[in-house]
């Protein structure tokens, strides 16, 4: 029986990934970065350190990497401030169900807390009070795909791994869940994860409504 649900933030709890890609596309055009749309999809779900290494391999200089990150970040924050970034479909209903049934909730993201705080403050309906545990990327020595962030969330919840379920949308997020030895559900978003044979997921859902329905059927 599931006694805890651990949410990823970007692309799972909120629809930031699609808007993040839009911000990157605008930054690419603005500064003429040699990045393709496929390159931009590869940024989804990775930690800040991984993002720097990923971009450095493509942009070649740290000056370009820093410009790319800062430009895309500012464009994304402008998008968030305009109220465009929203909770994903069914999230409020799933959270409400979990609270009603006494299922603990955690948020576990590779995004560093200062940046995450900036944009989630603009997301209508988001509240820290919905979660028993909040883990941000700067609370861990290693970001996803390292399992540390999920292990920290599970330990803080103090619920056995076999009674936890992670909700993720990204390749690196699911890989981190696999390495933490915690069951994970792929919530479909931007990236087709069927092309990554090195990851495994126990469940596939279209959205959080489906997660709620599944939990209801397994009470």
> CA angle, 134 as apex, 128 and 137 as ends, to 5°?
125
Tokens (6 digits) for 16: 């930031």
Given this model, what pLDDT does residue 64 score?
Answer: 95
Q: Which of 8, 15, 130, 169 is catalytic?
A: 8
Res. 50: pLDDT tops 90? no
pLDDT in tens, 119-129: 999 999 999 99
Dist CA 119 CA 23 (whole Å): 13
Q: Which residues contact 30 (CB under 8 A, 6 or more apart)?
A: 71
Q: Which residues contact 168 (CB under 8 A, 6 or more apart)?
A: 8, 12, 45, 174, 176, 177, 184, 185, 186, 187, 201
| Highest mean pLDDT: which range of 19-28, 42-51, 200-209 | 200-209
Tokens 């930031």 found at: 16
Confidence of residue 46 (pLDDT cuts 50, 70, 90): confident
DSSP codes of every residue in 118-159: HHHTTSTT--GGG-SEEE-GGGSSS-TTSTHHHHHHHHHHT-
Write down the pTM of the prediction: 0.90
Res. 66: pLDDT tops 80? yes
Mean pLDDT of 184-203: 94
Q: 149-183 b/e with 16+ CB inside 10 Å = b? A: bbbbbbebbebeeebbbbbbbbbbbbbbbbebebb
Quick one: which of 95, 113, 120 has its CA closest to 105?
95
pLDDT cut 90: percent of the chain above it? 84
pLDDT cut 70: percent of the chain above it? 100
pLDDT in tens, 69-101: 999 999 999 999 999 999 999 999 999 999 999
pLDDT in tens, 150-180: 999 999 999 999 999 999 999 999 999 999 9
Quick one: which of 195, 190, 215 has its CA closest to 44?
190
Q: Are 108 and 150 in contact (CB under 8 A)?
A: yes
Res. 113: pLDDT tops 80? yes
Has 8 been annotated as catalytic? yes
Alpha helices per DSSP H over the chain: 16-31, 37-41, 48-59, 62-81, 91-101, 113-120, 148-157, 171-180, 208-217
């Amino acid at each position: 029986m599931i006694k805890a649900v651990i949410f990823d933030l970007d692309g799972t709890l909120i629809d930031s990934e699609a808007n993040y890609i839009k911000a990157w596309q605008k930054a690419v055009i603005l500064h003429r970065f040699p990045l393709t749309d496929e390159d931009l999809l590869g940024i989804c779900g990775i930690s800040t350190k991984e993002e720097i290494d990923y971009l450095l391999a493509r942009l070649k200089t740290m000056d370009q990497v820093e410009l790319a990150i800062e430009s895309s970040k500012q464009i994304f924050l402008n998008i968030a401030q305009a109220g465009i970034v929203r909770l994903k479909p069914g999230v409020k209903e799933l959270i409400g169900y979990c609270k009603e049934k006494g299922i603990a909730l955690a948020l576990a993201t590779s995004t560093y807390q200062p940046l995450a705080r900036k944009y989630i403050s603009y997301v209508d309906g988001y509240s820290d009070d919905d979660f028993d545990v909040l883990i941000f990327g700067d609370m861990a020595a290693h970001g996803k795909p390292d399992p540390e962030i999920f292990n920290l969330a599970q330990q803080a919840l103090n619920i056995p791994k076999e009674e936890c379920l992670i909700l993720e949308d990204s390749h690196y997020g699911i890989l981190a869940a696999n390495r933490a030895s915690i069951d994970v559900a792929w919530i479909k978003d931007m990236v087709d994860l069927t092309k990554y044979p090195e990851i495994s997921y126990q469940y596939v859902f279209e959205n959080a409504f489906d997660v709620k329905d599944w939990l209801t059927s397994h009470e």
